[in-house]
Amino acid sequence: MLHRLSPGERVLLLAVICIAIFSARPYAGGWNDGSRLAAVESLAEHGSFIIDESIFVRVPPDRSPYPPGNASLAHDGTKDKLLISGHFYSDKSPVPTVAMAAVAYGLHWLGLPAAAEWPDMFCRLMTIFTSGLAYLLAVIAVLRIGRRVGLSEGLTLGVATVFAFGTTAMPYIQAVNNHILLLAVAAMLFAELLRPVPSMLVVGTLAGVGYSIDLAAGPMLLVCVVGLVLLTAVMRRGTGWLVLAAAPWLVLHHILNYFIGGTFGPANGVPEYLAWPGTPFNASNITGGWAHATSWKFVSYAGDMLVGKKGFLGHNLVLVLPLASLPLLVRTRYRERPIVLMGLAWAFGTWLLYAATSSNHSGACISIRWFVPLLVPGLLALIVLLREQPKRFREFQVLAVGSVIMGIAMALHGPWALKMVPGYWGIVGVTLLAWIVFRSRKPVEVEAISPDPFRLPAYGSKVAGIPVPGGWPAVVEASE
């Protein structure tokens, strides 16, 4: 695809690369990335998942890998850790640790000093080669999604630009974390599903990798993908290849998880492993089981995760447009409808799962970090809506401006933060008010893609100048 990029897309990707490089922090900003980097350092340099001696756990007084002036982190190190058989382990999923450790080992083999000798460079390079690279791949995948849906070149560039600079993706490239990794995997997965005849080997591999990254959103994604494949005639024939490609990643995850914690389930869901001196965890803040005293508290918490002061929608304002048009996207017929519905099912299921099993709004971080990968189904729905309803373009513009302002504010604030983004309610309020005003006005007539925007194009016809492949009618026919 890269050789077919327009000048605007090349400028966007260059900006993305520069931001990924220069925004990578030369330290671990909190417990989350400190825990992951501790496991990477220990595995790459000592061949063990035990993090007892890591500089992110036992912090050296003269070369702290944490932010200057943060006495708590400098004294205690990361507290995202498990005490198993007398040793500390990271509570993060193990497969990404193995991949990152391979990168760290390669850098050390090329001459980079050990993490303890050069912690700032270790943190910066690991962030660039993980979160920064994932950010770039996600933006490329969004460009592919726009092209495969048949959105115009200008609108595709606009959506990708808002995604890059106006969502929670941008602040999370500053630190090592699972969420930006799953975002990239999900974006590439949806881009592959939108091909006329997707490769089930690629789909299975990406779904399997996603499973191993996040043990809530990942398995939910795999289940939704399998459901889509089984219900869609053009994909069903490749079910065996999907299972074959996904299985090694599932097996690897559970073998490593059992090796570390003696359990096939999430090791950080075992209360005994979190019962170490000075632990901040207890029954009220452990994620994994039912976390609410009453049904009303569950409903209130679930709503707060979307629209409260850490609300996912408030921090990703551009997603308000597809949400407001959700009935239209669900009821009407268009060629990508099965994939859009699958994405919405994944987003809805992940939201309910985390709402039921947590009570801490994902900790000290920007918005709800667990929901960062859910940007992908939201953007797909937005892209389809803009193609099918050109009259929504002005609304998109209004929300895009607010989103980019919010994105810049989030990036300046950083991913690990206890306080709200400065000016958060002001940005949300002004943006939504302007959007409501534009939405209530009589829409400006824009030339539609077809006389009936929601009529399925006939075989051999064109959408936005792009011939309709033969696989699309089969996809829709099977979904009815």
Q: What is the pLDDT of residues 241-268, one digit of tens each?
A: 999 999 999 999 999 999 998 888 888 7
pLDDT above 80 for 455: no
State the Cα–Cα distance between residues 327 and 37, nearest whole angstrom. Answer: 43
State the Cα–Cα distance between residues 392 and 135, nearest whole angstrom. Answer: 27
What is the phi-psi region of residue 69: left when phi exceeds 0, alpha when psi lies from -120 to 50, beta otherwise?
Answer: left
Q: Which of 161-175, 218-232, 347-361, 433-447 has the lowest mean pLDDT?
A: 433-447
Distances (CA, A) of 434 to 297, 395, 437: 32, 9, 5
Residue at 389 is within a domain: yes
> What contacts 78, CB < 8 A, 6 or more positions away?
28, 30, 31, 32, 34, 35, 38, 56, 57
Average pLDDT over residues 440-462: 45
Q: Which of 49-53, 66-70, 100-104, 308-312 has the lowest mean pLDDT?
A: 66-70
pLDDT above 50 for 409: yes
Cα four-point dihedral sign 124, 128, 131, 135: positive
Residue at 277 is within a domain: no
Q: What is the pLDDT of residue 443?
A: 57
Give Rg (Cα) of the chain.
22
State the Cα–Cα distance between residues 186 and 220, nearest whole angstrom. Answer: 12
Q: How far is CA 22 from the centre of its chain?
A: 21
State the Cα–Cα distance between residues 394 and 439, nearest whole angstrom. Answer: 9
pLDDT tens digits along 263-304:
888 887 788 898 888 888 765 656 667 889 899 999 999 999
Q: Which of 198-207, 336-345, 357-366 has the lowest mean pLDDT?
A: 357-366
Q: What is the pLDDT of residue 4?
A: 79
| Amino acid of residue 33 | D
pLDDT above 70 for 73: yes
Average pLDDT over residues 238-242: 95
> What contacts 1, CB < 8 A, 6 or more positions away?
140, 143, 144
Closest CA to 167 of 391, 334, 377: 377
Alpha helices in 47-199 (DSSP H): 71-76, 94-109, 119-127, 133-149, 153-165, 178-193
Residue at 30 is within a domain: no
β-strands 466-467, 462-463 pairing: antiparallel
pLDDT above 70 for 11: yes
Residue 152 domain boundaries: 2-23+126-271+287-463
Residue at 175 is within a domain: yes
Residue at 349 is within a domain: yes
Q: What is the pLDDT of residue 467?
A: 44
State the Cα–Cα distance between residues 211 and 93, nearest whole angstrom. Answer: 10
Closest CA to 114 of 71, 172, 53, 173: 53
pLDDT tens digits along 332-341:
999 999 999 9
Q: How many domains does the chain have?
A: 1
Residue at 86 is within a domain: no
Average pLDDT over residues 40-68: 94
Average pLDDT over residues 326-333: 93
8 A C-beta contact, residue 87 and residue 50: yes
pLDDT above 60 for 58: yes
- Collapse the DSSP code of 126 into the 3-class scheme (helix H, G, I; strand E, B; otherwise coil) and give the result: helix
Residue 54 — very low, low, confident or very high, per pLDDT cuts 50/70/90? very high
pLDDT above 80 for 134: yes
Residue at 338 is within a domain: yes
Counted residue by residue, the chain has a size of 480
Give the mean pLDDT of the chain.
89
Average pLDDT over residues 451-477: 37
Q: What's this model's pTM, rounded to 2 decimal places?
A: 0.90
Cβ neighbours, 10 Å, residue 459? 12
For 107, phi and psi rounded to 5 degrees?
-65, -40
Q: What is the pLDDT of residue 103?
A: 95
Q: How many helices (H) and strands (E) does the chain have?
A: 21, 4
Residue at 280 is within a domain: no
- Collapse the DSSP code of 84 into the 3-class scheme (helix H, G, I; strand E, B; otherwise coil) and give the result: strand
